[in-house]
Amino acid sequence: MRELTFDTGVQKYTVNGVEDVFRINPTDTEFIGRLSDAFETLNGMWKNRGDTVEEDMKSDDLKQIVSGMRKMDGKTRQTIDDLLGEGVSEQVFGSVSTYALVDGFPVWANFLLSLMEDCDKAYQRERKLSNPRLEKYLKKYRRTL
């Protein structure tokens, strides 16, 4: 039996020192679409966080406010796990709320934006490589046809 082996572009990602947290091909347009959808969903939750936890936020009771934010944190973690694999959010965020703020953004946004940036860089790099490589093979096989 013959076997073909080729590079699928799937890469292992280390996040903040935690190795092999998830694996993706950063140039996979299907993944990029799901990443964009996840970001839009979470960004909508962030923008509407007052509405999302409206009942919990009506009072000045800290327990109710924290409860509402924990619900949003759980939804955020599930969205990220749906995108990258079960348990990824635990490895990435640990016990830190995904709504903790760093540099003006919630940590979930910092994480997904860094992933989006990496996908963009990978796509640009691969795009530059594809035309010369394709031309090389077209030249080679045009002669034999």
Q: Provide block-wise average pLDDT over 10 residues at a time, the chain (145 residues).
A: 95 97 97 98 88 55 86 97 98 97 96 98 86 75 65
The type of residue at 97 is S
Count CB neighbours of 15 within 10 A.
Answer: 17
Q: What is the pLDDT of residue 48?
A: 84
pLDDT the model gives residue 17: 96
Q: What is the pTM of this model?
A: 0.82
Q: What is the pLDDT of residue 50?
A: 64
Q: CA quadruple 25, 32, 101, 92: dihedral positive or negative?
A: negative
What is residue 58's predicted lDDT score, i.e. its pLDDT? 57
pLDDT of residue 44: 94
Nearest 10 degrees: Cα torsion 129, 133, 135, 140: 170
pLDDT value at residue 55: 54
